[in-house]
């Protein structure tokens, strides 16, 4: 079952069945591309998560991974080195234009303190640039179109941010 990174993960459910002398394991808690990258990583130590454009690899090389989905899966499967690699990638590719999407449009961040805190620190350090982006404005103006859960998540996050920040009177 394929899902987007914005969906709530389905609880881990592994089913084993016999068919043609093979064991089939169905994993419902990670999308196909992310799982392909995880398995490729376990065999080769590599994932399709590159800083400079799309790389082509040998036969069987996975499609580009969503870095946050890969981080979540690495965390869930206790692959600490891959988790650290994903965290480094997320931090290295963070900029004012993508902070809002990564933090406010990804409620799963609330369950991953390492990533969430990294984003909050970046927001505090770069608030002057972030507040001038279209995404920041659209996040505020688009709240009326959000689900109750999204509004609750964004509101809690904004309250936390404003409680942590000091604003000059200038």
Query: What ranges make up the beta strands (E) of 10-166?
Result: 14-19, 22-27
pTM of the model: 0.78
Q: How many other CB atoms are found less than 10 A from the CB of residue 4? A: 8
Long-range CB contacts (< 8 A, 24+ apart) of 4-10?
4/31, 5/31, 5/66, 5/68, 5/69, 5/106, 5/108, 6/105, 6/106, 6/107, 8/108, 9/72, 9/108
CB 10 within 8 A of CB 1: yes
**Mean pLDDT value across residues 97-105:** 94
Q: What is the pLDDT of residues 7-65, one digit of tens each?
A: 444 444 445 555 566 666 677 789 999 999 999 999 999 999 987 766 677 888 899 99
CATH topology of domain 1-93: Potassium Channel Kv1.1; Chain A (3.30.710)
Question: Which stretch of DSSP H or E encloses residue 83?
Answer: helix 80-92
How far CA 36 is from CA of 46, 61, 69, 70, 106, in Å, comes to: 11, 9, 12, 10, 22
Return the pLDDT at 75. 95
pLDDT of residue 16: 55
Contacts of 77 (CB under 8 A, 6+ apart): 38
Which of 79, 43, 80 is CA-nearest to residue 62?
43
d(CA 101, CA 93): 13
Confidence (pLDDT) at 29: 83
**Whole-number percent of the chain with pLDDT over 90:** 63
Token pair of 7, please? 């969906």
Sequence ranges of the chain with CATH classification 3.30.710: 1-93
Which of 82 and 9 is assigned the larger pLDDT?
82
């Amino acid at each position: 079952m394929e899902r987007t990174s914005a969906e709530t993960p389905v609880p881990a459910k592994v089913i084993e069945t016999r068919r043609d002398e093979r064991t089939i394991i169905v994993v419902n808690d990670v999308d196909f591309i992310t799982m392909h990258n995880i398995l490729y990583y376990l065999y080769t130590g590599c994932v399709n998560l590159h800083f400079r454009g799309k790389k082509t690899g040998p036969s069987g090389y996975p499609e580009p991974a969503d870095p946050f989905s890969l981080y979540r899966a690495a965390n869930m499967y206790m692959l600490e080195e891959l988790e650290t690699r994903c965290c480094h990638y997320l931090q290295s590719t963070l900029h004012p234009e993508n902070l809002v999407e990564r933090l406010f449009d990804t409620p799963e961040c609330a369950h991953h303190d390492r990533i969430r805190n990294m984003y909050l620190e970046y927001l505090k350090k770069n608030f002057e640039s972030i507040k001038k982006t279209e995404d920041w404005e659209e996040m505020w103006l688009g709240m009326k179109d959000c689900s109750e859960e999204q509004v609750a998540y964004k509101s809690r996050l904004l309250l936390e941010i404003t409680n942590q920040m000091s604003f000059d009177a200038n």
